[in-house]
Structure 1
Amino acid sequence: MAVLSHFRPCTFWKLIVILVLATILLQAWHMMMLFQLESMVKDKSSSGESQNQSFPDKNDTPQGQIQETGESIESLIKKMWEKVTTANVLDKSGSYVVIDNILEESNSKKDHTQDVTIVTQCSSNHLHHLLTLSKTWNGPISVSVFTHDQDTQFAIYTIAYLIACVKNISKQVLFHIAFPVKNSPLPFDLHDFTVSCNDRIDTFQSKSKHLNYAVEGLEYPNNLLRNIATQAAKTSFVFIVDIDTLPSPEMRMSFNVFIKRHKQFMNSSSPIAFVVPSFEVNSQVDVSSIHTKTDLKKVWNDSKVRPFYFELCWKCQRYTDYEQWGLLPDFDFLEIGYFVDWEDPWEPFFIARKSDLPLYDERFKQYGFNRISQVCESYVKGFRFAVLNNAFLLHHGFKVPGNFHSKKEEEQNRNRQLFREFKKELKLKYPMSDRSC
């Protein structure tokens, strides 16, 4: 009995040690297989893909990207102008003419179901951001362009230039146009000035002086533009961002691998928002040096990078929990870092299944509460918010008070009142939901 009683505890602890070692070995094997899977996808995607990223000024066109892609600029301009002059589709308010995919036969006609589309919108004088965005993302992009009056000429010229001269854009980007009924495009002479792929983009884009929110008598319909671009996306997932931001290199590729690993997210009845932490980058920083989370943390520690809207509205972003995100292990693959309970007024940027997303409320125009309206409704609808461990979004330049158009506060106050009414309406729209915002 003495021998038996001594033997059993020893055997028990040996089994525990063996199980612990086996668990460690299985985890190591799992990590190795994930790394190999990631590497295989990188190898398949690396052909012709550049890792350099920057935020070019419109006067600094990266000429290495410029090469004729096929159809002439003049031919593209004629096709688009014909579309504009014959357009008859209005938005639901009847205030805007909408042209979905102004060049149907060009680019992105493939149905990349298992992929992510960047969805964005802008006025014509911000289209130059697509030069770098398309290069960094290296995948499908859907962009809605707001134009009006004589600005339409510059919008059309710019789109034609980008498609005819930039390979990434001709293959990846779908363009859509919206303009006010009361400010319809003005006719122009095709030969007012000529454009070629030898020109820099500022040659003609600088002729357009109109900013998103500062055109007298016009309201910039940001939510309408987002909806147009979202509905036109041909992929299962969408990532709705501002056109002057850049995703981290390889985010698209890493996310696609992540979804293949977690197929339950493709068909889950529980919608989920994959949150991408967003940052502002000091304008003196060479953004092309920020490839990885490790790179980002170095400049973050030097106070050359900070969380998005840090000065303007910290409470709008702080629930991302940047401190926790920075402490996550720096794996080479994408994974969920942690979940966050949504709280007002958090408005994260996130990737989500297109079929799950509620459309934006198009009553919100100009500045304030336009983006959060969709985040709020997503939460009430039942979305969970999962912060991704390695992905990030960069905005060039710190956002500071005072760098906005003169009517910003007036517009924000008006939209604040609309947002209060909007939240009441959500209670009627989702009567079975126990959530409110």
Structure 2
Amino acid sequence: MAVFRHFRHCTFWKLIVILVLATIMLQTWHMMMLFQLESKVRYKSSNGEIQNEVFPGKNDTSQGQRQETGGSIEYLMKKMWEKVRAANVFDQSGSYVVIDNILEGSNIEENRTQDVTIVTQCSSNHLHHLLTLSKIWNGPISVSVFTHDQDTQFAIYTIAYLIACVKNVSKQVLFHIAIPVQNLPIPFDLHDTTVSCNDRTDTVQSKSEHLNYGVEGVEYPNNLLRNIAIHAAKTSFVFIIDIDTLPSPDLRVSFNVFIKRHKQFIDSSSPIAFVVPSFEVNSKVDISSIHTKTDLKKVWSDSKVRPFYFELCWKCQRYTDYEQWGQLPDFDFLEIGYFVDWEDPWEPFFIAKKSDLPLYDERFRQYGFNRISQVCESYVKGFRFAVLNNAFLLHHEFKVPKNFHAKKEEEQNRNRQLFREFKKELKLKYPMSDRSC
């Protein structure tokens, strides 16, 4: 009987081991099937580089379109899909596949270190904002795109369209992609793509099936996306904003002039955040008509513009001191208006040196405390906060509670607890700092 029990015990554990190994093999096979699908139409050139038969060539206008980046939408989609299939880089948690520079604009200048890159992130249904943002900013932009499942086809198409057909995007924008491991892309037939640059640009404004935070079982990794875009920025300074906001039209040029006048800010060992006051614009107002601070103050006095998050979380923005900012003398150049002592829970948008900036804590996902955690750490690290006199940031439409997804409060409560732990960790990370938040 003892021998039988021993045999039965060994057999049980052997079965457990076999089941575990089988599970691992099935998961591995699943990933290989998704990421190693062969393209239906491709060949190798004489130098061994993979090309595509539908690539029309740099000057080919057979589709009635001018190719700004040297490739058709179909070719660019195939190029991106190959990168997606071959992706093998994951985030620190192992939860997301990360693809840097999935399609770099062909004319992006390499030697612009003394400049500012807009850093932003979004899901595919917000990529159309780049049409206006790239035109207003007219400089480097680094954007991380979150996609998953069947949404990947729309994301890849939209990026390809923007690079092939929009000159500002092809010259200025670096695209990156993050995909949840549990929701890998669903293969699609690239031959179904028949669009060309002759199509109206509103073809990229089709809304994807889900909101950023509204996909059941999929967490939107906003801080991971921000970090990916920061890493890829090639300039000394970065300006981290939401993709549905627009900076004042002359901000990039005037900031670069400002920095040349104040070279001490480049070499200073004391980090500084140049705060850009942010506003919300009534949907009935043409946001592109607001060119200057004078324009802004006029619609502000008519209550068609208000401070950002005015209705949702006024205390999160009020320390910018909008009243003082509005009363600053009207200079025709950019300068520091005043300094602000950071107070919890202030979360301003600001420009900062990339080398000074602490990265975002990637544990924060979905809604709540993702941006303020980084602002909080910047303060503890020793940042000073200087509000710029003429710069501003405009958000499309007023922010109101009814426009948020159903689980907003649940996510915010979860992240609030994480933020409490995060603040305790900062005391260990910066033991010599006399600041806390």
Same fold (TM over 0.5): yes
1:430 corresponding residue in structure 2? 430
1:224-282, Cα deviation, whole Å (9 max, x unpaired): 00000001000000000000000001100000000000000111100000000000011
CA distance in 2, matches of 1:204, 1:227: 25
Shift of 1:214: 0.3
Shift of 1:202: 4.3
- What is the Cα-based RMSD across aligned positions, in Å? 1.2
CA distance in 2, matches of 1:116, 1:331: 22
Mapping of residues 128-147 of structure 1, within 5 Å: 128-147=128-147
1:404 is aligned to 2:404: yes
SS in 2 for 1:98: strand
Mapping of residues 195-344 of structure 1, within 5 Å: 195-203=195-203, 206=206, 208-344=208-344
CA distance in 2, matches of 1:292, 1:105: 30
CA distance in 2, matches of 1:330, 1:110: 35
CA distance in 2, matches of 1:400, 1:105: 36
Contact 1:119/1:141 (CA < 8 Å) preserved in 2? yes
2:113 corresponding residue in structure 1? 113
1:77 corresponding residue in structure 2? 77
2:384 corresponding residue in structure 1? 384
CA distance in 1, matches of 2:293, 2:398: 19
The letter of the residue matching 1:191 is H
1:300-351, Cα deviation, whole Å (9 max, x unpaired): 1111111000010000000000000000011110000000000000000000
Structure 1 unaligned segments of length 5 or more: list them: 1-65
1:171-216, Cα deviation, whole Å (9 max, x unpaired): 0000000001111111110122322111234436526312210011
2:394 corresponding residue in structure 1? 394
1:10-52, Cα deviation, whole Å (9 max, x unpaired): xxxxxxxxxxxxxxxxxxxxxxxxxxxxxxxxxxxxxxxxxxx
Contact 2:121/2:145 (CA < 8 Å) preserved in 1? yes
CA distance in 2, matches of 1:282, 1:205: 20
1:51 corresponding residue in structure 2? none
Mapping of residues 6-17 of structure 1, within 5 Å: none
CA distance in 1, matches of 2:306, 2:170: 34
Structure 2 unaligned segments of length 5 or more: list them: 1-64
The letter of the residue matching 1:103 is L
Shift of 1:289: 1.8
CA distance in 1, matches of 2:164, 2:270: 42
Shift of 1:72: 1.2
2:67 corresponding residue in structure 1? 68
SS in 2 for 1:285: coil
SS in 1 for 2:403: coil
Shift of 1:106: 2.8
- The 10-residue stretch of structure 1 (284-293 or 323-332) with the greater mean CA deviation from structure 2: 284-293
CA distance in 2, matches of 1:404, 1:138: 31
The letter of the residue matching 2:362 is E
The letter of the residue matching 1:68 is Q
The letter of the residue matching 2:67 is E
SS in 1 for 2:190: coil
CA distance in 2, matches of 1:249, 1:207: 27
Contact 2:104/2:173 (CA < 8 Å) preserved in 1? no
2:56 corresponding residue in structure 1? none
SS in 1 for 2:139: coil
The letter of the residue matching 1:154 is F
Contact 1:154/1:207 (CA < 8 Å) preserved in 2? no
Assess, with a 3 A threshold, how the Cα gap between structure 1 residues 300 and 67 changes in structure 2: closer, same or farther. Answer: farther
Shift of 1:107: 4.1
Q: How many residues matched?
A: 372
1:348 corresponding residue in structure 2? 348
The letter of the residue matching 1:254 is S
CA distance in 2, matches of 1:237, 1:339: 19
Shift of 1:365: 0.4
2:174 corresponding residue in structure 1? 174
Q: What TM-score do the two structures reach when normalised by structure 2?
A: 0.84
Shift of 1:104: 4.4
CA distance in 1, matches of 2:365, 2:287: 31
CA distance in 1, matches of 2:252, 2:381: 26
Contact 2:104/2:175 (CA < 8 Å) preserved in 1? no
2:127 corresponding residue in structure 1? 127
CA distance in 2, matches of 1:207, 1:313: 27
- The 10-residue stretch of structure 1 (150-159 or 345-354) with the greater mean CA deviation from structure 2: 150-159
2:54 corresponding residue in structure 1? none
CA distance in 2, matches of 1:378, 1:239: 14
Contact 1:67/1:166 (CA < 8 Å) preserved in 2? no
1:366 corresponding residue in structure 2? 366
Contact 2:105/2:163 (CA < 8 Å) preserved in 1? no
CA distance in 1, matches of 2:95, 2:407: 22
CA distance in 1, matches of 2:241, 2:101: 19
SS in 2 for 1:191: helix
CA distance in 2, matches of 1:137, 1:87: 31
Shift of 1:288: 2.0
2:156 corresponding residue in structure 1? 156
SS in 2 for 1:315: helix
SS in 2 for 1:114: coil
Shift of 1:402: 1.4
- The 10-residue stretch of structure 1 (227-236 or 283-292) with the greater mean CA deviation from structure 2: 283-292
1:37 corresponding residue in structure 2? none
Contact 2:308/2:317 (CA < 8 Å) preserved in 1? yes
CA distance in 2, matches of 1:126, 1:158: 10
CA distance in 1, matches of 2:232, 2:385: 24
CA distance in 2, matches of 1:308, 1:105: 32
Assess, with a 3 A threshold, how the Cα gap between structure 1 residues 204 and 394 changes in structure 2: closer, same or farther. Answer: closer
1:50 corresponding residue in structure 2? none
